[in-house]
Amino acid sequence: MTVSNQTTSGAGKDILLEVRGLKKYFQVKTGLFKSVDLKAVDDVSFSIRKGETLGIVGESGCGKTTLGRTILRLEEPTGGDILYAGESILHRDMNEFRDKMQIVFQDPYASLDPRKTVSDIIGEAMDIRKMYPNKAERRDRILELMELVGLNQQFYNRFPHEFSGGQRQRIGIARSLAAGPSFIVCDEPVSALDVSIQAQIINMLEDLQKEKQLTYLFIAHDLAVVKHISRHVGVMYLGHMVELAESYELYKNPLHPYTQMLLSSIPVANPDLSRSRKRIRLTGEIPSPLSPPSGCPFRNRCPKADGKCAECLPSLEDTGSGHLAACHHL
């Protein structure tokens, strides 16, 4: 994986998705005529190679969901650029890319139209593109997709309310696969599910990735889930990417104080190990994104914060061997 902070750096041939300095600001009304920018995603850059997974973690409200949606232009970006297979998607009709770039949603209940049958939900992408004018072919293709995600064929004409959360999420995954995408944003696909189901869904996503050479942007608030599936992991805080490294490296050697805190908050099953581990407690709350601290966004919760942190924003820099972190105290 190549991370390009300088937008000019040459992208390797096998890079599928590249994000350069992406910004998404929302205008929030605070008074009759006043409004403030809410910087949900602020200057985020990364790239993902074909067939790999980039995990994004962060507390709720850090902008990770907005990042995923902005990449698919479900929200229009305020600035920056998004390149799919080397081509900017911002200056073209997004519908040309929709069959290649897909999303699996967090909430398996709200994301399925309650008035549509399973077959119509899965088949929607094909219907929009008129991929199968022949009814029998369409049916076969939908059944094939259902089998792929482990749904029984007899559910073909059922409605979403008849299913459990895990089954609904399978429907959602089948839907995202319908148009034959190569890149999928998985927006916390398992956080609404029971723990026992989580593993099934994650394993299925992994199998699908191998089988179809899929590229994932996997968003989660849980480091443990991300660790399992991702090749690389990025940590977000208040709209900023604060650390980005290979999964193994990040877990073994977290550099940013925020990542260290997040990692030490993962419960460990082994009590001996748990006791011997040095814990750094995550104190305080995420500040309101409407009035973030000056300089480093993390400084009001950071044990290492000093005058420099209040003055300027640390940039995301390579500390060697592709491990990037944004902190003045490295």
Q: Is 98 in the site for another protein (CB under 8 A)?
A: yes
Task: Give me the 13-52 binding string for another protein, x by CB under 8 A, dash otherwise.
Answer: -------------------x--------------------
- CB atoms < 10 A from the CB of 311, how many? 12
Q: Is 132 in the site for another protein (CB under 8 A)?
A: no
Paired tokens of 291: 């009035």
Q: With b meaning 16 or more CB within 10 Å and e meaning fewer, what string describes 254-291?
A: bbbbbbbbbbeeeeeeeeeeeeeeeeeeeeeebbebee
Q: Is 102 in the site for another protein (CB under 8 A)?
A: yes
Q: Is 105 in the site for another protein (CB under 8 A)?
A: yes
Residue 73 DSSP class: T
Q: Residue 15 is which amino acid?
A: I
- CB atoms < 10 A from the CB of 180, how many? 12
d(CA 55, CA 183) in angstroms, rounded, equals: 13
Nearest to 298 by CA among 250, 265, 255, 268: 255
- Which segment (41-49, 151-159, 206-214, 261-269) binds another protein by CB under 8 A? 151-159
Q: Are 225 and 233 in contact (CB under 8 A)?
A: no
**In Å, how far are 194, 263, 267, 278 from 275, measured between CA atoms?**
28, 15, 11, 8
Nearest to 216 by CA among 250, 179, 255, 177: 177
Nearest to 201 by CA among 233, 162, 246, 171: 171
- Which segment (14-22, 95-103, 249-257, 261-269) binds another protein by CB under 8 A? 95-103
Paired tokens of 64: 């990770």
- Which segment (123-131, 196-204, 207-215, 263-271) binds another protein by CB under 8 A? 123-131
Which residues, listed in sequence order, are joined to residue 324 by a DSSP beta bridge? 244, 318
Q: Are 303 and 283 in contact (CB under 8 A)?
A: no
Dmax (CA) for the chain in angstroms is: 68
Residues 259-288 that bind another protein (CB under 8 A): none
Q: Is 107 in the site for another protein (CB under 8 A)?
A: yes
Please give the size of the binding site for another protein, defined by CB under 8 A. 32
The distance of closest approach from Cβ of residue 31 to another protein in the complex, given in angstroms and rounded to an integer, is 9
Q: Is 74 in the site for another protein (CB under 8 A)?
A: yes
The distance of closest approach from Cβ of residue 102 to another protein in the complex, given in angstroms and rounded to an integer, is 7
- Taking CB under 8 A as the criterion, the residue among 45, 47, 66, 111 binding another protein is 111
- Taking CB under 8 A as the criterion, the residue among 30, 95, 265, 315 binding another protein is 95
- Taking CB under 8 A as the criterion, the residue among 27, 30, 92, 128 binding another protein is 128
- Taking CB under 8 A as the criterion, the residue among 52, 124, 246, 249 binding another protein is 124
- Which segment (56-64, 78-86, 100-108, 191-199) binds another protein by CB under 8 A? 100-108
The distance of closest approach from Cβ of residue 190 to another protein in the complex, given in angstroms and rounded to an integer, is 16
Q: Is 130 in the site for another protein (CB under 8 A)?
A: no
Residues 152-181 that bind another protein (CB under 8 A): 157-159, 162, 172, 175-176, 178-179
The distance of closest approach from Cβ of residue 126 to another protein in the complex, given in angstroms and rounded to an integer, is 9
Binding site for another protein (CB under 8 A): 32, 69, 72, 74, 95, 98-99, 102-103, 105-107, 110-116, 124-125, 128-129, 157-159, 162, 172, 175-176, 178-179
